A and B are shown apart, each in its own frame.
Chain A
Amino acid sequence: MLKRAFAIITLLFIGLWMASALSGVDFGADRMLVGKYYLNNVMMETGAVNTVTAVVVNYRGFDTLGEVTVLFIASTGVGALLWRRKKERTARTEGSVVLKTGARILLPFIMLFGAYIFIHGHLTPGGGFPGGATIATAFLMLYLAFTSYEIEHRVFEPLEGLAGMGYVTVGLIGLAIGGYFLFDWIWQTWGWGHGNIGRLFSAGFIPVIYTLIGLKVGTELTGIVDNMVKEEVSE
């Protein structure tokens, strides 16, 4: 009781303190310093219509590389924590015919929609991370609907690594051509897609990188699910 009261009072103080710090900022006030630059120059400099994507992949591409690394470490960490010599799926109850058939029918549509999201990262909201998560959902659905389903490990794990290496390679090509890491060589040096702003084949290396990130995130989250649904079997 005393502990709980103390916690509530502390939280109230922290809340008041943060509210007083934020009270100086008017909601909706124009406080854009860098933001103005992004909004004014994004189309000319990157070819992307979606400013968020251009900032995340192009202007601040290094942060995205960090995020991809975090995901990779999370996946590797789960794999390391749950590592066992012999692991199998131990689900016992088969789903009903309605669940299994529904999963079969939905699978290609979910995967196509995930691909749609990451291919259109420079035009519509979304990008590699939501697209990859959508694709992972398709595999999660298969894991939940079928007791014996398992991903093709020989394909999935190399694909995950290759996609990550592809991202770094695109960055390194930029380093060689333009002088710094993640320099958008497709847009700035080749000038490819300049007449196409707003259509699919534009925006330099953003669609390329988002395809790689989509593949990476999709395979990675699926790998995490795969690790978590399996249990050790006693022999």
Chain B
Amino acid sequence: MGEASRISRYLYTVIVLFVIWIFLTSSLDIQELEIGLVLSLIVGALTYSIFTESGLANLHPKRVAYAIAYVPYFLWAMLMANLDVAYRVLHPKRPINPGIVECKTVLDNDLGKLALANSITLTPGTITLDVKGDRYFIHWIDVKDASVEGASENITKPFEKFLKVIFP
């Protein structure tokens, strides 16, 4: 996906900052909103070139809907992974089989890669060590399949369903 126009990127940054400001102050006092708008415009002007590449396209309804749906999905995966690790810790035989595996991803923009890496790290049992191109190097507490395809099936695929729509 190419770079959006400067105006679109700037507006997107301002909108995101203003929403964050409203949550931060949790007040709809007109004075807070005025200062919030001014600060969003200033901070947006300083940072939009670093912050975003695709601009307003990020607010496409389908992508926002997928992003909202991703939150409970991810929290559930996180809960399950935590219970799994707790089981491994408490089990007297300590059934672990750690190792570093290589995974492939279909995501090709940086934001998606960041989201995937953080999702992998936040689900216990897997930690992202490094990302190079479309390869992820992941430390896995219980290696079931050391091949690239097998590991991707287990680790990255479940998240990519959502992330490839959110960050095309």
Interface size grouping (class) on chain A: 20 to 34
Q: Which one of B16, B50, B117, B128 has the highest number of Cβ atoms from chain A below 10 Å of its Cβ?
A: B50
- Chain A 185-220, CB-CB to B under 8 Å as 1, else 0, gives 000000000001001110000000000000000000
Complex Cα spacing A113 to B25, Å: 10
Q: Quick check: A105 and B114 within 8 Å, CB to CB? A: yes
A115 proximity list for chain B (CB < 8 A)? 39, 42-43
B43 proximity list for chain A (CB < 8 A)? 108, 111-112, 115
Across the two chains, which residue of chain B brings its CB closest to A152?
A: B46
Q: Is there a chain A Cβ closer than 8 Å to B3's Cβ?
A: no
Binds A, one of B29-37, B65-73, B79-87, B89-97: B29-37
Number of A-B contacts (CB under 8 A): 68
Q: For chain B, what secondary structure do more than half of its interface residues adopt (helix, strand, loop), or is it mixed?
A: helix
Q: A217 to nearest B CB, angstroms? A: 17
Give the residue of B17, B32, B35, B113 whose beta carbon is less than 8 angstroms from that of A108.
Answer: B17
Across the two chains, which residue of chain B brings its CB closest to A103?
A: B50
A105 proximity list for chain B (CB < 8 A)? 51, 111, 114
Q: A151 to nearest B CB, angstroms? A: 11
Q: Quick check: A98 and B29 within 8 Å, CB to CB? A: no
Give the residue of B13, B16, B31, B46 whose beta carbon is less than 8 angstroms from that of A200.
Answer: B31
Q: Quick check: B131 and A97 within 8 Å, CB to CB? A: yes
Q: A157 to nearest B CB, angstroms? A: 16
